[in-house]
Amino acid sequence: MNPGLILASTAVAFIVATTFMLALRPVALGLGLVDKPGGRKLHKGDIPITGGIAMYLGVLAGASILPVQGNVALSIFVASTVLVSIGVVDDRFHILPVARLFSQIVAVLLMFFGAGLSLADIGDPFGTGLLTTGSFSLIVTMLVIITMINAYNFIDGADGLAGSLSLIGLLSVAVVCGVYHPTTGLALTVSAAAVGFLIFNFPTIYNRRVRAFMGDGGSTLLGFTLAWITLSVSQGPDRVISPVTGLWFAAVPIFDFFTCFVRRLLQRMSPFTPGRDHFHHILMRGGFGVRQTLGIIVALQIVYAIIGIAGFEASIPDVVMFSTWSVLGISQYFVVRLIARHHRAYRLRHRDTANMS
């Protein structure tokens, strides 16, 4: 793809997203599209939920510059519109989970039938040869995409977290594809819109007066577009990466999602019941601040993305990459708890020492 087009699309996406983050703020406050503190939510004051709409408009404006095939462009446009619309309605009126699930199913059907994009194989994760999905392609595609959407929705519980993690995944895809691959333009365009949002969401004292959240509309949009982009470069004869490599680019959100999912099922709870058992909650209970928690989780995801890129560059077999990814996924919860426990113990020792002196 022409680097000039990519530069133009990313610039437009960033400018439009940033502009609408500011323009939509009074509208959201007037309509009650805000996140109120209380319960699990520890922020102060009503925070406008404008990130999803602003990023959506930024991506739409930037992507219109790119030479995307008509059926693909229409499918991703309609699918994204459905997800963001239902997400915004949920942010305002708190609709039933089944309505959100229905919108996600519609988005996957548009991807599958409209754009002709599906998970035809999952690579060679077990060393037995390429595993194709065959007649179960639609079901497997739906399970994978819906998991990705909800993984980013689940982990959107701390300032800057979901946006930063999706940004790492999108940039990782761009790195392995290279500047001239047609998918790179879309990946960087979505990245630019995410950066435009993060200016207003990153936990810093400089944006407190204009702080905003992405809401369900934003987290589902980012999860869906990252899943779409990763799938498009990991399938077919012109694939760039194996689907196993793509797992590394979204490792932390997927680990967090399945950890919460399994733990809640074991506790005889609905896996979609809101809780404080996410990685960021564990770290915060260990005494880490919001910025420290963000730094730890983002650093973990950067390490995983680097491993995925390195494995791709070194042509490491899927079975080795998947085995390593699985071990890390199973142990991630315990590693996070260990970090939190050691930090809590350190704080207690430091406090006791200060009291004695």
Per residue in 243-267, pLDDT tens? 999 999 999 999 999 999 999 998 8
Residue 271 has pLDDT above 90, yes or no: no
Task: List, for residues 174-226, the tens digit of each pLDDT value.
Answer: 999 999 899 999 999 999 999 999 999 999 998 989 999 999 999 999 999 99
CB 231, CB 245: distance < 8 Å: no
Task: Give 254's DSSP letter.
Answer: H
Residue 41 has pLDDT above 90, yes or no: no
- Band (pLDDT 50/70/90 cuts) for residue 309 is very high
**Residues found in the chain:** 357
Residue 356 has pLDDT above 60, yes or no: no
Residue where the block lists tokens 């990023």: 55
Residue burial 41-61, b: 16+ Cβ < 10 Å; e: rest: eeeeeebbbbbbbbbbbbbbb
C-alpha span between 119 and 320 (Å, rounded): 21
Residue 330 has pLDDT above 90, yes or no: yes
What residues have CB less than 8 Å from 165, skipping those under 6 apart? 152, 155, 250, 252, 253, 297, 298, 301
pLDDT value of residue 218: 97
Nearest Cα residue to 111 out of 218, 217, 227, 193: 227
The mean pLDDT of 17-37, rounded to a whole number, is 95
C-alpha span between 81 and 57 (Å, rounded): 10
Query: What does residue 242 show for φ and ψ, rounded to 5 degrees?
Result: -85, 150
The mean pLDDT of 108-122, rounded to a whole number, is 96
Residue 354 has pLDDT above 80, yes or no: no
Give the percent of the chain with pLDDT over 90: 83
- Band (pLDDT 50/70/90 cuts) for residue 38 is low
- 3-class secondary-structure state, position 144: helix
C-alpha span between 175 and 312 (Å, rounded): 11
